[in-house]
Each structure stands twice: as C-alpha cells, then as structure tokens.
C-alpha cells in the first residue's frame, strides 16, 4: 500500500511533482555548473595567463652565480657558460611535463649591419617542431611566448618553411633606424662569422626587443661560433600558487621531510617545476620570473576565492529555494496528513511517506539538474574561456549529497509542523 500511495502521488500529481523536481533541478544545475567551473577555473585562468609569457627562466649555473653576486636579474650569460642545446627536449620529460606549455632557448650576440650600425641579434625558436623522447610532438617557440608582439609588417618567421632558415624578424626601432622593411635582405657580421638573412617581418614588442633582431637559433650560433649552445631558456608552465611548503622548498628542498618532499615534488608549484628542470638540464639554474609567477598566483588565488564565494552563494540560494518549495508543497498536504492521523497513521508512517516522496523527487531533480548544469558549465566555458569545461567526477557525489541534504533539511520544518498538526483543525477547518 505504501508504494501504491507513492505511485499514486507521482502518477496522479505528475504536474505538481514535476514542478518540484524542476525547481530542485534548477538549484542542482546551478550547483553543478558553478562547481564544475570552480574546479576547472584554475586551469583555465592559468592557460589565459600563459599569454603573458614565460614564468620560468633557465640559465647556466655560472651566469646565475654572477647574477646573484651583482644582484642583477636577467643579465647576460657569463662568458663561456652555456646550456646544451641537445638537452632541450628533456624539459618535456620531467614529472610535470604536461604542465610545460611552451619554451624556447635563447642565445644572443652583437652584430653589425651593412651600414656599420651595431645591433643585438637573438637566436631562438619561433615555432620549432620537436619529436619528443616520449613519442609526442611539440611546436614551441617565441610565437607562443611573445603573443603580445604586434607584427607591423610581413609575418612571423615559420621554421617549417625551408627558406625561413635564412630569415629573421626585425624589431620596430631597428627597422625604423636602419630603414629595413619586410622582404629586404640584410647582412649581419658577427664576432666569428657573417650571414645574410631575409627579413620576413617587423614586430613592435613595446619593450627592449624592438632594438633587437630575432633570427633562428642556428644562425646566431653561427655568428658567435657557439654551435650546440644556448645561453638561456624561457619556460611557460602551468603552476599551482605557492604556499608555505612551496616557499620553504624553494629555499632548500632538503629542509623538507620525506612526505613533505613528496607532496611538494608531486604538486605543480613553480619551485618544484624549476627543481625538476634543473634535474634534467646540466649545470642549469631554473628560477621563477617572480613578477609573473607571483601575479599568476595572486590572480588565480583571487579568481578561485571569487568562484568559491559565488558557488557558496549559489548553493545557499538554491538551497533556500528548494527548502521553501518543499516546505510549501508539504504544507499544502496538511488536509491529507490530518486525515491520515485521524484514521490512525502514526508519526513514523507519515514522516516516512513524506520523506520518501521528497527524496524521490529530489533524486529526479538532481539527475536532471546535473546534466543541465553541465550544459550551463559548457556555455560558461565557451563564452568566457573559449573552451569546454572538464567534467569533474567529484561534482556528482557533491551535488547528490547537497540535494539530498538540502531537500531533507529543508523538509525538517515542514515535517515538524505536520507532526504537530492537530487533525481536528484541518478536518473541521478550525
């Protein structure tokens, strides 16, 4: 009979039950969307922040010592101290390889143009194709690391085109001073050799790079006779904001206990990624670009805090909505409950009936709400970040527990009122 009563309530009050389920679904969808976005916003914001360039620089140990000694950051590599070009692929083999979004090696030298004008020439990767030891392939270089460059003439140097092996890109200041235009050929005379390069593009970087010429790595190595050498590497990595553990580890990883070390090593802190890069690049010092890393950390922390607060507010709001609706729907049935009491139903029987109905409606609403919420999350993902929001499995139990708890907690006042209900009041209308 219990199930006939439940079935009767659902089949013959379909519209009413569906309305309650849809309201619960609305709350659940809000919770699902916000939780999915919240869990994914860190990665999404981190990806967005990568457009601001590298957050880790790798230099030879000797250069780093000099930098530290003279408290100069980003200084030139010490004379004769270089990193090995053949080790560059190893960066994509570290534990956090998937968090290495882009990187590019750099070597620079002074050269003179045909008119005798001195200019700094930087050798690097533009869109370098790499076949990694893991079997994966990667296209990386300054085209990804210098997204803010404005190509005022011509185009980006394309390493996949054989002709571009003898090409270069010229900074806006150099181009203006020397009257260089895209398509021109320029003669560069370095300390060890000379070369003729075709200008494929002129860029406006808004920084000191406007006074430089960017050329393929091999060309600059030829000018300075440093084949197989690079003076620095810029790495753009997805990182987790530093906490106390990360700060301690950054100072001295040996100060950590074994479990702390494991936690630190297996978390994408900028310090642990730097540490792992140092493990694979010989005689290298990898250090975070503090301004970028700190800003990223601060922005991500604030974004996540904002999302958590919005999610909590959304959950409280939907919780109150569900609670009110459940209370209203239960109270609407006071006549029916009064009758049940009058014909001998005890408190347990009434509570069981009401809660079973509410839980069933809650489950239906939660399932509908979960899928609707996932859809909402995708809309948010595509409209805000331009990409899909990853479906997090942990959201399912959270939403399920949330809906059941909110629905049951929301029903407590209504059930208490029903249990106190005087059948004479509802049956006689007084």
Partner 1 sequence: MSLLELKDVSKIYGDLHALDKINLKVDTGEWVAIMGPSGSGKSTMMNIIGCMDKPTSGEVLLDGVDISRESAKSLTRIRRDKIGLIFQQFHLVNYLTAVENVMMAQYYHSVPDEKEALRALARVGLADRAKHLPSQLSGGEQQRVCIARALINYPELLLADEPTGNLDEANENVVLDIFSQLHKEGTTLVVVTHDPEVAEVAQRTVTLGHGKIISDKLNEGFKE
- Binding residues for partner 1, per CB under 8 A? 1-2, 4-5, 8-9, 11-13, 335-336, 338-346, 349, 422-424, 427-430
Q: Are 373 and 26 contacting, i.e. CB atoms less than 8 angstroms apart?
A: no
Cβ-based neighbour number of residue 36 at 10 Å? 26
Q: Which is nearer to partner 1, 6 or 355 (CB)?
A: 6
CA distance 260 to 252: 12
What share of residues in the chain are helix, strand, coil (percent, to 5)?
Answer: 60, 20, 25
Closest CA to 54 of 130, 124, 153: 124
* Gap between the Cα atoms of 354 and 269, Å rounded: 51
- E strand or H helix that includes residue 151: strand 150-154
Q: CA–CA separation, 399 vs 415, rounded Å?
A: 23
Question: What token pair was written down for 59?
Answer: 């230099």
User: Smaller CB distance to partner 1: residue 225 or 424?
Assistant: 424
Of the two residues 281 and 340, which places its CB atom closer to partner 1 in the complex?
Answer: 340
Cβ proximity to partner 1, 136 vs 347, nearer residue: 347
Min. distance of Cβ 366 from partner 1 in angstroms?
A: 24
Q: How far apart are CA 22 and CA 30, in angstroms?
A: 12
CA pair distance 309, 231, nearest whole angstrom: 45
Beta carbon of residue 352, minimum distance to partner 1 (angstroms, whole number): 12
- Token duo for residue 10: 């659902």
Both tokens of 411, joined, read 């029903």
**Which of residues 92 and 333 has its CB atom nearest to partner 1 in the complex?**
333
Query: CB atoms < 10 A from the CB of 67, how many?
Result: 19
Q: Residue 251 or 428: which CB sits closer to partner 1?
A: 428
Closest approach, Cβ 11 to partner 1, in A, equals 8
- Which residue lies nearer to partner 1 by CB, 179 or 344? 344
To partner 1, the closest distance from the beta carbon of 323 in angstroms equals 24
In angstroms, the Cα distances linking 196 to 53, 219, 307, 385 are: 30, 10, 54, 43
For residue 22, the minimal CB distance to partner 1 (Å) is 19
The separation between the first and the last C-alpha atoms of the chain, rounded to the nearest angstrom, is 30
- If the CB atoms of residues 305 and 427 are measured against partner 1, the closer one turns out to be 427
Three-state DSSP class for 119?
strand
CB of 344 to partner 1, least distance (A): 3
């Amino acid at each position: 009979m219990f199930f006939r009563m439940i079935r009767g309530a659902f089949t013959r009050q379909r519209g009413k039950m569906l309305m309650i389920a849809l309201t619960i679904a609305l709350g659940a969808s809000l919770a699902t969307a916000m939780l999915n976005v919240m869990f994914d916003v860190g990665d999404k914001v981190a990806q967005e922040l990568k457009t601001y360039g590298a957050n880790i620089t790798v230099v030879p140990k000797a250069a780093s010592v000099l930098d530290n000694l003279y408290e100069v950051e980003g200084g030139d590599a010490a004379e004769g101290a270089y990193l090995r070009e053949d080790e560059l692929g190893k960066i994509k083999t570290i534990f956090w390889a998937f968090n290495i979004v882009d990187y590019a090696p750099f070597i620079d030298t002074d050269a003179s143009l045909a008119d005798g004008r001195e200019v700094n020439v930087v050798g690097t990767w533009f869109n370098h194709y790499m076949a990694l030891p893991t079997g994966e392939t990667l296209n990386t270089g300054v085209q990804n690391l210098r997204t803010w460059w404005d190509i005022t003439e011509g185009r980006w140097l394309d390493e996949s085109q054989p002709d571009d092996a003898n090409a270069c890109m010229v900074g806006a200041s150099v181009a203006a001073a020397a009257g260089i235009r895209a398509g021109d050929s320029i003669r560069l005379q370095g300390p060890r050799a000379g070369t003729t390069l075709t200008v494929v593009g002129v860029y406006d970087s808004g920084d000191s790079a406007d006074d430089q010429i960017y050329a393929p790595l091999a060309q600059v190595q030829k000018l300075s006779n440093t084949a197989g050498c690079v003076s620095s590497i810029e790495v753009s990595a997805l990182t987790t904001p530093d906490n106390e553990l990360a700060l301690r580890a950054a100072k001295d990883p040996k100060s950590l206990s074994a479990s702390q070390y494991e936690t630190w090593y297996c978390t994408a802190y900028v310090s642990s990624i730097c540490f792992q890069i140092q493990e694979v690049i010989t005689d290298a010092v990898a250090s975070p670009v503090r301004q970028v890393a700190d800003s990223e950390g601060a922005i991500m922390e604030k974004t996540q805090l904002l999302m958590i607060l919005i999610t909590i507010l959304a959950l409280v709001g939907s919780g109150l909505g569900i609670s009110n609706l459940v209370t209203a729907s239960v109270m609407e049935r006071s006549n029916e409950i009064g009758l049940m009491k009058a014909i001998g139903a005890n408190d347990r029987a009434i509570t069981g009936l009401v809660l079973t109905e509410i839980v069933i409606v809650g489950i239906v609403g939660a399932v509908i709400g979960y899928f609707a919420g996932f859809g909402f999350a995708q809309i948010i993902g595509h409209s805000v970040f331009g990409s899909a929001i990853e479906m997090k499995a942990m959201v399912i139990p959270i939403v399920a527990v949330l809906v059941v708890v909110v629905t049951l907690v929301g029903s407590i006042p209504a059930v208490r009122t029903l249990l106190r209900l005087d059948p004479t009041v509802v049956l006689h209308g007084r």
